[in-house]
């Protein structure tokens, strides 16, 4: 999601460092020094450190955007973007992680009751997208909510979960 936002902002001098999550690189002392929560991505800009992809996207738009199209300042539109960002993190991705992490990381059997909650969340999202009145989640303008949702949906797709 952050890469999508950085690309949309044409941030060509953004230095990306890959973190090997499967080997636990994010748990090591070097990473923990900048991010005690061990999550990715983490933005380091001089003495400013920020993590959580949705916060990083909002910061990048505010700091480097020529306008606020990706994260509109109009309160009602921004509230809709925020709602979808929070839905993505707190509902859609959360439900996906409850289903996939035990299977992928621990070899456990899939929990069909959790899969049902993913279907429920995807149904809500499908309805909202149909009601948006445009090509994007909030309407005619792409926002960081689209970047976030696209990343989560791509993760779900890549994990080969039978939905």
User: What CATH number is given to the structural domain containing 15?
Assistant: 3.40.30.10
Q: Are 31 and 25 in contact (CB under 8 A)?
A: yes
Q: Which of 35, 64, 93 is the last residue of a domain?
A: 64
In terms of residue numbers, what domain contains 46? 2-64
Q: Is 69 within the bounds of a domain?
A: no
Mean pLDDT calculated for residue range 141-150: 98
Report the pLDDT value the prediction gives residue 103, as an integer from 0 to 100: 87
Q: Tell me what the pLDDT averaged over the chain comes to.
A: 93
CA atoms within 13 A on the CB side of 54: 17
Specify whether 44 is located in the same domain as 87: no
Specify whether 20 is located in the same domain as 93: no
What phi, psi does 134 have (nearest 5°)?
A: -155, -165
Q: Is the pLDDT of residue 14 over 90?
A: no
Specify whether 152 is located in the same domain as 79: yes
Task: Work out the widest C-alpha separation in the chain, in whole angstroms.
Answer: 48
Give Cβ neighbours of residue 96 (< 8 Å, ≥ 6 apart). 118, 152, 155, 156, 159, 161
Q: What percent of the chain has pLDDT over 90?
A: 78
Domain count, the chain: 2
Give Cβ neighbours of residue 55 (< 8 Å, ≥ 6 apart). none
Report the pLDDT value the prediction gives residue 163, as an integer from 0 to 100: 66
User: What CATH number is given to the structural domain containing 151?
Assistant: 1.20.1050.10
Phi-psi region of 158 (alpha: psi -120 to 50; beta: other; left: phi over 0): alpha
Specify whether 81 is located in the same domain as 152: yes
Specify whether 98 is located in the same domain as 124: yes
Give the pTM: 0.90
Report the pLDDT value the prediction gives residue 52, as an integer from 0 to 100: 96
Q: Is 90 within the bounds of a domain?
A: yes
Q: Which of 44, 64, 84 is the last residue of a domain?
A: 64
Q: Is the pLDDT of residue 44 over 70?
A: yes
Report the pLDDT value the prediction gives residue 142, as an integer from 0 to 100: 97
Please state, in angstroms and rounded to a whole number, the distance separating the CA atoms of residues 21 and 52: 15
Specify whether 81 is located in the same domain as 138: yes
């Amino acid at each position: 999601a952050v890469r999508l936002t950085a690309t949309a902002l044409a941030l060509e001098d953004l230095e990306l460092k890959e973190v090997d999550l499967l080997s636990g690189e994010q748990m090591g002392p070097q990473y923990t020094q900048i991010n005690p929560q061990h999550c990715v991505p983490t933005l380091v800009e001089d003495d400013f450190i920020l993590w959580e992809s949705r916060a990083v996207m909002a910061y990048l738009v505010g700091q480097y955007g020529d306008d606020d199209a990706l994260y509109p300042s109009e309160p009602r539109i921004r509230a809709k973007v925020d709602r979808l960002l929070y839905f993505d993190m707190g509902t859609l991705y959360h439900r996906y992680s409850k289903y996939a992490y035990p299977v992928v990381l621990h070899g456990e059997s899939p929990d069909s009751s959790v899969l049902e909650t993913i279907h429920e969340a995807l149904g809500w999202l499908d309805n909202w997208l149909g009601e948006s009145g445009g090509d994007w989640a909030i309407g005619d303008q792409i926002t960081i909510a689209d970047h976030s949702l696209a990343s989560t949906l791509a993760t779900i797709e890549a994990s080969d979960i039978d939905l």
